[in-house]
Amino acid sequence: MRRKILFAVTLTAVLGTTALSPCAAVANGDVVAVKDNFAAGTIVVRTSERRLYLMLGGGQALRYPVGVGRAGMQWAGTSTIEGKYIEPAWSPPESIRRENPRLPDVIPSGSPHNPMGVAAMTLVGGEYAIHGTNDPASIGHFVSHGCIRMYNADITDLYQRVGVGTPVVVTR
């Protein structure tokens, strides 16, 4: 089953499909009413709520729980999805290596120690990403160095719904 899901996700990325699916989220995403005036397809992360919203239009959004930047590592602003990756390898940035110098240079894809989970979508500039996690207990908390963490099932769902170039707005 997992192979079929990844094939569908990869096929979607290859075909460049960016249309929003009208179906409900397959994991923890809930369709909720919103008063924001963002265009359909925009990702909005509300750090204080520890929630990510995919705006659907018509006053509705898909809402997902997320883990966000811990104190001193939060950011706010706008960006876009720059790249999409299934089971990415992870190279710890220098800020994380300073905290844990024993980390390897690269943690390979599929490793249970890889914090990126099953998929990642990098934001312009490459410093931050919206990604899965190898620590589902971290979702709903202030835990990261600025990345947005999602349950693996949720990042898989979101990954299928958005494309490269999708606008991302992060608020505190």
For residue 84, how far is the Cα from the chain centroid?
10
Question: Is the Cβ–Cβ distance between 159 and 121 less than 8 Å?
Answer: yes
φ and ψ at residue 38, rounded to 5 degrees: -85, 150
Active site residue 131: yes
The number of beta carbons lying within 10 Å of the beta carbon of residue 151 is 23
* CA–CA gap between residue 73 and residue 99 (Å, rounded): 13
Catalytic residue among 23, 113, 145, 147: 147
Catalytic residue among 23, 131, 141, 145: 131
* CA–CA gap between residue 30 and residue 64 (Å, rounded): 7
Active site residue 113: no
How many C-alpha atoms does 50 have within 13 Å on its Cβ side? 16
* CA–CA gap between residue 31 and residue 63 (Å, rounded): 6
Residues labelled catalytic:
131, 147
